[in-house]
Amino acid sequence: MSEISDYQQQLLHAIQTEKASVTLMEVCGTHTMAIAKSGIRELLPPNIKLLSGPGCPVCVTSQGDIDAVIELVRQKDIILVTFGDMMRVPGTYSSLQEERSQGADIRIAYSPLDALRVARENADKEIVFLGIGFETTAPAIAVTLEQARSEGLGNFSVFSLHKVVPPALELIFSDPDINVDGLICPGHVSVVIGVEPYEILAQKHRKPCVITGFETLDILEGIYMLLKQIKQGDAQAEIQYRRVVKREGNLVARQSIEKVFKPVAARWRGLGVIPDSGLALREEFEHMDARLKFNIPEMEEIPIKGCACGEVLTGKISPPECLLFGRACTPLKPVGPCMVSHEGSCAAYYRYTPAKGRG
Amino acid sequence: MCLGVPAKVIELMANEVARVDVNGNQTEISVRLTPEVKINEYVLVHAGFAMEIIDESIALETMKYLEELLQYE
Ligand code: SF4
């Protein structure tokens, strides 16, 4: 056995010997997926519970916001450029995929910079980039907006559904119905924001926070660090994912977010409206705000019947506890966004849990 | 969604663009958010941007807690 897998075994062994009852929450869709895939949850002793939180940007997007985007693509001469994850997310009456099959021009891009190319090549069309994601993604959109402004691309705009993570974590820690003893903090969001926001949370709520990487070894080490703090009565923010995350985060990226976006209240699926948790374009960039440019109104929030995504996203239930899970709702025929996105908790559970364990 | 992949910087080009190698495939990314990056360094790539330089001296194999884990044997 190699030294690394030895170490991994030792971490697991230490975690398995833990006697106290502890509930940890991971707040990153990539962790949700990595944990499901590696089978870590099944290896934990019954006294250590691992919940998934609101860590999937597609899943936390509100129903009204999805409906608003669908409203937008129905307008004339619009080309919507989006990350692929958004295509199948069900709105109240339709999805982007359905709109595309009805003739809407919707293109999937890997980078927001691709949307600028589309804008240059289609001067007679309006190009809208669907900005979705947490702090990891916002700097890329910010740089793209700056670039569009300096090129004077009049036909480019962004529909910003961007959200920031710390206000949602604040809400989770403050909710008396959600009992979490420690947080496995998102590795790639933290690449940008650094450790400080978690220091504030850890201190205020007396709960440890560990910024964790995505390999099985990282996750086990992160869990071990949290258990150790809990045992010692500590509540610190620590970085396990030190090879990528700096204490101060990425200052250049933080500055670009700051320059282009301003914090606004935003509605999260399952969590409601959270102050200062969304990112809207600042005044200097407002002419590239698609919501204003195309007069898209706030849409009513119509919940999806029977879908418990809201409870799943706050760790109040685990996916198999939803009555539709694996029956009316599967990745092929998803009812809610948590089953659509690869990193949604329901999709991760469905894909990696053997059929008999699906409840 | 916040997925990041490690890539090795092969060439630094004009306009803060770099050619990088991801698992044997070459592609171009923006290094606007990591202006100090050098050739041969590894970066974490997300949505076509280098988000951070990966510090290879802190490899996965650091095994920071090795000693204290022995007490669980
Ligand atoms: S299983 Fe489907 S219906 Fe149930 S919470 Fe998940 S996405 Fe919603």
Using alpha carbons, list the distances in angstroms from residue A161 to A31, A99, A136, A267.
22, 19, 14, 10
Average pLDDT, chain A: 93
Q: What's the pLDDT score for residue A29?
A: 86
Closest of A49, A7, A47, A55 to residue A31, by C-alpha: A55
pLDDT at B57 over 90: no
Residue type, A41: R
Q: Does domain A1-29+38-306 have CATH number 3.40.50.11740?
A: yes
| Helices (H), ranges, A215-250 | 216-232
User: To 5 degrees, how large is the angle CA A220–CA A226–CA A231?
Assistant: 125
The rounded distance, in Å, linking the Cα atoms of A146 and A134 is: 19
Residue A245: how many CB atoms within 10 A of its CB?
28
User: Residue B49's domain spans which residues?
Assistant: 5-70
What's the mean pLDDT in A138-167?
Answer: 96
Task: Give the DSSP H/E element, type plus range, for residue A49.
Answer: strand A48-52
Q: Check residue A354 and give its pLDDT.
A: 64
**Reported ipTM:** 0.88
At A216, give phi and psi (nearest 5°).
-55, -45
Domain CATH for B49:
2.30.30.140
Model confidence pLDDT, tens digit, residues A239-262: 999 999 999 999 999 999 999 999
Q: What is the pLDDT of residue A47?
A: 95
Kindly identify which residue of chain B lies nearest to residue A225, measuring between CA atoms.
B65
Are B46 and A137 in contact (CB < 8 Å)? Answer: yes
Q: How large is the average pLDDT for residues A257-284?
A: 95
Contacting residues of B for A190, CB less than 8 Å apart? none
- Picking from B48, B54, B72, the nearest residue to A14 by CB comes out as B72
* DSSP secondary structure letter of residue A326: T
Question: Which residues lie across from A105 on neighbouring strands?
Answer: A79
Contact A341, A84 (CB under 8 A): no
DSSP state of A303: P
**Residues A26, A350: Cα–Cα separation, whole Å:** 18
Which residue type is seen at A230?
I
DSSP secondary structure string, A81-110?
Answer: EE-GGGTT---SS--HHHHHHTT-EEEE-S
Q: Residues with Cβ < 8 Å from A154, sequence gap 6 or more?
A: none
**Would you call A57 and B49 a contact, using CB atoms and an 8 Å cutoff?**
no
For the record, the structure tokens of A238 come out as 């620590």
Count of domains for chain B: 1
Give the domain ranges of chain A.
1-29+38-306, 309-351
Q: Is A357 exposed, middle or buried (0-12, 13-18, 19+ CB in 10 A)?
A: exposed
Helix (H) or strand (E) holding A311: helix A309-313
pLDDT of residue B61: 57
Smallest Cα–Cα separation from B72: which of A215, A238, A18? A18
Cβ–Cβ pairs < 8 A, chains A and B: 126
pLDDT of A357 > 90? The answer is no
Neighboring chain B residues of A246 at a CB cutoff of 8 Å: 52
Give how far A103 is from chain B: nearest CA, Å: 27
pLDDT at A202 over 70: yes
**Cα separation of A133 and A142, whole Å?**
12
| pLDDT of amino acid A33 | 87
Give percent above pLDDT 90 in chain A.
76
Q: Is residue A359 pLDDT above 50, yes or no?
A: no
From CA B21, how far away is CA B10, in angstroms rounded? 7
Closest by Cα among B36, B3, B24 to A137: B3
Report the nearest atom of ligand 1 relative to the CA of A339: 7
In angstroms, the Cα distances linking B27 to A29, A143, A260, B20 are 26, 19, 27, 6
